[in-house]
Amino acid sequence: MSRPLLITAVALASYAALNLVASLAVALLWRSGALAWPPSPAVRARRLAWLRAVPALAAGILTALIAVPAFVRFEPYHESEPVGPALVALALAALAQLAASAWLAAATTIRTRTVARHWLRASEPLHVNPPAGVPAYTIDSPAPVVALVGVFAPTLVAARSVVATCSTDELVRIVAHERGHVQAHDNLKRWLMHCAPDALRWTPVHGEMAAAWHDAAEDAADDVATGGDAGARMDLAALLLKMARLTSPPSWPAATVSPFVERDGLERRVRRLLSANDSTGGRFSALGLASAAAAGLVMVAVAAADPATLERVYGVVEALVVFAR
């Protein structure tokens, strides 16, 4: 194997191995029940999103800043070098992960744009306090659609049946909920989770974490819409039930859409809104999360700058290269 190809294989194999270890660690941590979630849905959603991103982020950072630099620095120069099957298998596994992620990302984006084009074909501007910078439209749809559609530039759409059935105050409440999704970039997070290039996404834990994040994101958007006011919470709960009674909600397989109401989780959302004991505290928890991430990056930077650490890492990588050769 030529040197450029060997370095590429080492990078891919390192990513696959580190990704597997990180995915296993996150899965065990999730299933252990040791995680203590804050009462604030917004903070809980952020933490879940970051935790779900750990396998891919950790593997990518450690590969780029430690594994590959260590190998390039200490590996003697050879025009060509034989490698073992373990390196090849791990490199192919990484390629498969990255290819599957790229395919899912492209397919989801295309399907989302297809849904958006279909909805917006005969649309009209909706002038009901739309989220800042987000276009809003009334659309023709047999189902009572109210949703944000799109990944990087989401569009708010509402079916004419919804606009005709709801009062202005109810429409304002709906738009306020969707504004919560816009502010939190929930469609982008949903898309990134769907196409995460890691081993975790092929396990049941991925679905469990995605569902937990979805619930937290919906609760956080409800809090944005109500502002913690008890009367507004009751009004929103009634509005959710009203919307659910109009007709069965549509489904958008593999499209990045944040609907206002879904049958799954409807009862949970209504009960939470009507609960007087619900807490929306924990606003300063994000500082602790940022501090932990910064500390991790500092540790990686220190390790990348230490020749002794890099040499030990090289020994591990070289053992992988020659394993069963």
pLDDT 10s digits, 147-192? 888 888 888 888 888 888 888 888 888 888 888 888 889 999 999 9
Per-chain mean pLDDT for the chain: 82
pLDDT at 79: 73
pLDDT at 208: 92
pLDDT at 148: 86
DSSP string, 195-223: T--SSGGGSHHHHHHHHHHHHHHHHHHHH
Q: What is the dihedral of CA 281, 286, 287, 293, to 10 degrees?
A: 150
Q: What is the dihedral of CA 206, 209, 214, 215, to 10 degrees?
A: 150
- SS3 assignment, position 125: strand
d(CA 197, CA 190): 14
pLDDT at 317: 82
Question: Would you list the domain boundaries of the chain?
Answer: 3-322
CB of 151 closer than 8 Å to CB of 191:
yes
Lowest mean pLDDT among 43-47, 100-104, 215-219, 291-295: 291-295
pLDDT at 282: 42
Q: State mean pLDDT over 10-23.
A: 93
Q: Is the pLDDT of residue 276 over 80?
A: no
Percent of the chain with pLDDT over 90: 24
Q: What six digits make up the tokens of 268?
A: 């949970």
**Tokens 């059935």 correspond to what residue?**
165
Q: For 78, left (φ over 0), alpha (ψ -120 to 50), or beta?
A: beta
d(CA 232, CA 170): 10
Q: How does residue 265 score in pLDDT terms, banded at 50, 70 and 90? A: confident
Contacts of residue 263, defined as CB under 8 A and 6 or more positions apart, other chains included, come to 244, 248, 249
Contacts of residue 108, defined as CB under 8 A and 6 or more positions apart, other chains included, come to 151, 191, 194, 195, 254, 255, 256
pLDDT 10s digits, 52-103? 999 999 999 999 988 899 888 888 877 777 878 888 999 999 999 999 999 9
Fill in the DSSP letter of residue 153: S
Q: State mean pLDDT over 290-308.
A: 66
d(CA 295, CA 29): 20
d(CA 157, CA 170): 15
pLDDT 10s digits, 118-131? 888 878 888 776 66
What is the SS3 string spanning 62-122?
A: HHHHHHHHHHHHHCCCCCECCCCHHHHHHHHHHHHHHHHHHHHHHHHHHHHHHHHHHHHCC
pLDDT at 283: 42
List C-alpha distances in Å: 293 to 237, 297, 299, 302: 37, 6, 10, 14
Q: Are strands 136-139 and 257-259 parallel, antiparallel or unpaired?
A: unpaired
pLDDT at 286: 47
d(CA 30, CA 33): 6
Q: Is the pLDDT of residue 218 over 50?
A: yes
d(CA 286, CA 49): 12
Of 221, 292, 264, 239, nearest to 50 (Cα)? Answer: 292
Q: Is the pLDDT of residue 13 over 80?
A: yes
CB of 153 closer than 8 Å to CB of 265:
no
Q: Is the pLDDT of residue 298 over 70?
A: no
pLDDT at 102: 94
Q: Is the pLDDT of residue 284 over 60?
A: no
The burial of 321, by beta-carbon neighbours within 10 Å (0-12 exposed, 13-18 middle, 19 or more buried), is given as buried
Q: What six digits make up the tokens of 146?
A: 């109210």
CB of 72 closer than 8 Å to CB of 7:
yes
